[in-house]
A and B are shown apart, each in its own frame.
Chain A
Amino acid sequence: MTDWATLSPVLWLSFQQTVYMVFWTMLIAGALGLVLGVALYATRRGGLLQNGPLFGLLNVLVNIVRPIPFIIFITAIGPLTLLVMGTTIGTQSVLFPMSAMATFVIGRIVEQNLVSVDPGVIEAARAMGASRFRIIWSVLIPEALGPLILGYTFIFIGVVDMSAMAGYVGGGGLGDFAISYGYQQFDWTVTLVTVVIIVLIVQLAQLIGNWLARKALRR
């Protein structure tokens, strides 16, 4: 039988660690990914800030990083993590590889959503004399807000997935919990409970995301 009296506090701590990793990654990578996505959108040919070399560089960078399996990415950029975070062990240190990977993924998703904004609306704003940066923050992003929220919701689930893998290499969290106390102890109940908790987190995020996107769409 599973000893829940002993496991409950550990589970609670793991849950907190997962929330911690996902929250900070979403915040940091959400902001940086938005900047990266806008940069990809704006520097492309015919864009507001057309810049071929910069677009080429960012585009290649995203294409190189994104396909690397995350578990390998964490170990591959270990030296860089050590340099930036001072350690490669612990929940806090995995924020670096998680945020880095999520930034590239979010950047691409943001770019794709911005491309779908009607160019006529951008032209109208230009015709009114709005500067390029004003157009980006006051027209482009608000016009794409509904799809952007859905994109971020999608990413949130990816980040929860990432946090589980980060746990495996020393980050703690629910993934680590499921492996250490479920898989390695042959305790399927623990694994199952952890899975249910993760599914609930994801469901909640999706519900909130859908609700916010519907409000933003005005349709």
Chain B
Amino acid sequence: MAPLISFRGVGKVFPSGRGEGVRAVDGVDLDVEDGEIIGVIGHSGAGKSTLVRMINALELPTTGTVTVGDRVTGSLGERELRELRGEVGMIFQQFNLFSSRSVSGNVGYPLRVAGRPREQRRERVAELLDFVGIGEKARQYPAQLSGGQKQRVGIARALATSPRILLADEATSALDPETTKDVLALLKRINRELGTTIVVITHEMDVVSSICDTVAVMESGRVIERGPVYDVFSAPREPATRRFVHSVLHDRPSEETLARLREHFPGRIVTVAVRDDPAVRGAVSRVIAGHDVRGTIVYGGIRELAEKPFGSITFELTGDDPAVDALVAELRTHTHVEELVQEVPS
């Protein structure tokens, strides 16, 4: 099946005062399949927003083509553009609600644009507000709502015309952790129940790990890595991806933490990776018990990534050097093990 969205050789240059302009997106080839949730990650200024705004033609590519369904975004007339945008909903970090309209006025606006009759609009708005769980707020104004409620209004508004695609631009970055969880659960539900393809721009690991199926990593306008979330995060190929993963996962002690650990734990310190295979964790305990070595947990964490366990545990191993060597060797037959060697002060 053809992908729902495809970028082919896409570049975008913004004209600047003088010189050759700013190259925000550079030679991107990317496919988004129908029904998936894809996360676009990368540091700020990497071109994520510009890339995603090409899907609903808020930005047009300078070079290459962006195809959404069977439409090429660069060649649309006013009417086709409106149709495309009816099929692509968008939510924003700052919600961007119309402060002059009530909650139902906000949600009903895209239906007005689409020319739906009044009665149909009223029914659809009520249905949407119930779906996002704020049915009782219909008459209130955005200024009276909390951040989480505002984003629910934003989501209801984005879904009004039953779009096939939902773009989420840092949609949870302005929310507290608890509200973020609720909003992410709602996005996941939209994807499952309505089959909406969701493109999520984020710099938050939780967003990627809890809802995305695939992830595209951007750096300096390029997509440098793309694949299933678990694969990209557990075995990043590009140094930039690796840096990003470690900076958000905190899955191994930093240099400073390690130095503090060594003050209390003089033994050899190893980090053991915990991956998808459920047998690994049992094996680690068994192997440590089978040697004449004392293993103390000093650091680590295991979280869920794409609904699979992912993380690492750092142990202090105390015992004879040959015994520790043998233990590490046996652990290596089960999973990835890294010994954090103390740098000898010179």
Contact pattern, B 86-118, Cβ under 8 Å of A = 1, otherwise 0: 101110101011111100000001101110000
Contact residue among A127, A138, A143, A218 (Cβ-Cβ distance under 8 Å from B56): A127
Would you call B265 an interface residue if the criterion is a C-beta within 8 Å of the partner chain's C-beta atoms? no
Q: Does A126 contact B (CB under 8 A)?
A: yes
Check A143–B88 contact: CB distance below 8 A.
no
Task: Evaluate contact between B88 and A127: CB separation under 8 angstroms.
Answer: yes
Question: In the bound complex, do residue A219 and residue B143 qualify as a contact, i.e. CB atoms below 8 Å apart?
Answer: yes
Complex: A76 Cα to B88 Cα, angstroms: 56
Considering only residues 85-129 of chain A, those with a C-beta below 8 Å from chain B are 118, 120-121, 123-129
Best-surrounded residue of B86, B97, B100, B114 (most CB of chain A within 10 A) = B100
- Asked if B83 is at the interface (CB within 8 A of a chain A CB), the reply is yes
Q: List the A residue with the shortest CB-CB distance to B142.
A: A218
A218 touches B99 (CB 8 A): yes
Contacts of B97 in A (CB 8 A): 121, 124
CB neighbours (8 Å) of B98 from chain A are 121, 124-125, 139, 142-143
Residue of chain B at shortest CB distance from A141: B100
Contact between A142 and B101, CB atoms less than 8 A apart:
yes
- Determine the distance from Cα of A129 to Cα of B282 in the docked complex, in whole angstroms: 55
A131 at the interface (CB under 8 A from B): yes
B interface SS class: mixed
The closest CB in chain A to the CB of B82 belongs to A129
Any B CB within 8 A of the CB of A162:
no
Bound-complex Cα distance A209 to B6 (A): 52
> Could you tell me if B92 and A129 are in contact, using CB atoms closer than 8 angstroms?
no
List B138-158 residues whose CB lies under 8 Å from chain A: 141, 143, 157
In the complex where A145-B100, A218-B100, A218-B143 touch, is A129 in contact with B90 (Cβ < 8 A)?
no
Nearest to A122 among chain B residues (CB) is B96
Number of interface residues of B (CB under 8 A): 30
Interface flags for B154-165 (1: CB within 8 Å of A; 0: not) read 000100010000
Taking the complex as formed, is A214 at the interface, i.e. its CB lies under 8 A from any CB of chain B? no
Which of B58, B90, B92, B100 has a CB less than 8 Å from the CB of A142?
B100
Determine the chain B residues whose CB is within 8 A of the CB of A127 once the complex forms. Answer: 56, 58, 85, 88-90, 167
Contact call A125/B109, Cβ cutoff below 8 A: yes
B114: chain A residues at CB < 8 Å are 129
Is A216 part of the binding interface, using a Cβ–Cβ cutoff of 8 Å?
yes
Q: Are A121 and B96 in contact (CB under 8 A)?
A: yes
- A219 and B112 alpha carbons, distance in the complex (Å): 25
Q: Which residues of A contact B141 (CB under 8 A)?
A: 218
Contact between B85 and A129, CB atoms less than 8 A apart: yes
Q: Given A127-B90, A129-B114, A131-B78, does the pair A118, B58 have CB atoms closer than 8 Å?
A: no
Q: Is the CB of B86 within 8 A of A129?
A: yes
Q: How many whole Å from B97's CB to the nearest CB in chain A?
A: 8
Residues of B near any A CB (own CB < 8 A): 56, 58, 78, 81-86, 88-90, 92, 94, 96-101, 109-110, 112-114, 141, 143, 157, 161, 167
Given A128-B109, A142-B98; 8 other pairs, CB 8 A cutoff: A120-B94, A120-B96, A128-B113, A129-B86, A131-B78, A139-B98, A218-B99, A218-B143
Q: List 16 A-B contacts (CB under 8 A).
A: A118-B94, A120-B94, A121-B99, A124-B98, A126-B58, A127-B58, A127-B85, A127-B89, A129-B82, A129-B86, A143-B99, A145-B100, A216-B100, A218-B100, A218-B141, A219-B143
